[in-house]
Amino acid sequence: MTVYDILCNFAEMLLLILKIVYCICESAYKLIVPTKKKSVIDEIVLITGAGHGIGRELAIGYASLGATVICWDIDEKTNNQTMNDIKKMGIKSVYAYRCNVTDREEVFRVAEKVKEEVGDVTILINNAGILFIKSLLNQRPDEITRAIDVNVTAHYWILTAFLPSMMKKNHGHVVALSSIAGLIGIPYGTVYCPTKFAVKALMETVSEELRVLSNGKSAIKFTTIYPFFVHTGMVENVKIRFPRIIKELSSQKVASSIIDAQRRNYKNKSIPSYWLPMSKIGRLLPDKALKYIIDFINVRMYPEEPI
């Protein structure tokens, strides 16, 4: 290595340090002065799992803000109900399509129909998910396959259906729901937790891939959401040691936080916000210390059937 190479490497290291310091300062500034919310007027928002729970509240929230909303759900009845409830609010720019997100051919077929009848989707929210609370040895093979198909594989079909138009216009935003259970493994989440870890990994990888492919010029944003237990009926048997401090969340509160995170271009957002930094700090501790903390907080979900 020549002296010139050594000097170049040293200069690059100094530049890297300056960039890191800048990023730290920028993040600290944003904690004090939050990023201004961007408008969603004239955006076309597609929400999977819009027939109930968080998806339904997201559809109502985005429609109220002036976006064109497209509701996807495998349950045609509840999906149409979400659309009709929004129309009763005097909002006409809302559409409902039945779609099985685990069926690749159906996803592409319905996506093409959406493009022809409504336009190119500019905000994509992968919200659909299912949950089986069971120990590993009690999981049925069909339940394992179903959970992976809905919670992970469907993301691949939906992303490949809608990302090309976003890339062509260099405009768009992808939001995916992971979970607090996608940050740390919990008992009886032997299928659910890995699928939510996978969502986190997929979002990070696709975001980085677009950054590299575009030489840093991609304007497409990615937001991964990590909610705590949400009262949607999916999980009924939850035990919380400190219920006044750590509470189950309502679908409305979670949907509002998701919309806020998307409009502020947050890359990652836990709900409540303290869970994400806590998980990062926890990973720095010895494994045994982390287990002690988890046992002290003592938040558990239990199967309805005998173990």
**From CA 299, how far away is CA 295, in angstroms rounded?**
8
d(CA 188, CA 133): 5
What angle (nearest 5°) sits at the alpha carbon of residue 184, between those of residues 180 and 187? 100
- Amino acid type, 54: I
Question: Helix or strand or coil: residue 225?
Answer: strand
Q: Are 199 and 152 in contact (CB under 8 A)?
A: yes
Tell me the CA distances in angstroms from 72 to 80, 82, 136, 229, 275, one per residue in order. Answer: 9, 10, 31, 23, 29
- Half-sphere exposure at residue 83, Cβ-oriented, CA atoms within 13 angstroms: 23
The CA-CA-CA angle for residues 66, 231, 254, to 5°, reads: 35
User: Which of 62, 95, 192, 266 is flagged as catalytic?
Assistant: 192
- Dig out the tokens for 182 from the structure: 């996608």
Query: Is 192 marked active-site?
Result: yes
For residue 201, give both structure tokens.
């990994």
Which of 66, 183, 202 has the alpha carbon at shortest distance from 126?
A: 202
Dist CA 53 CA 96 (whole Å): 16
On the question of a cis peptide bond just before residue 303, with omega within 30 degrees of 0, the verdict is: no
- Supply the residues annotated as catalytic: 192
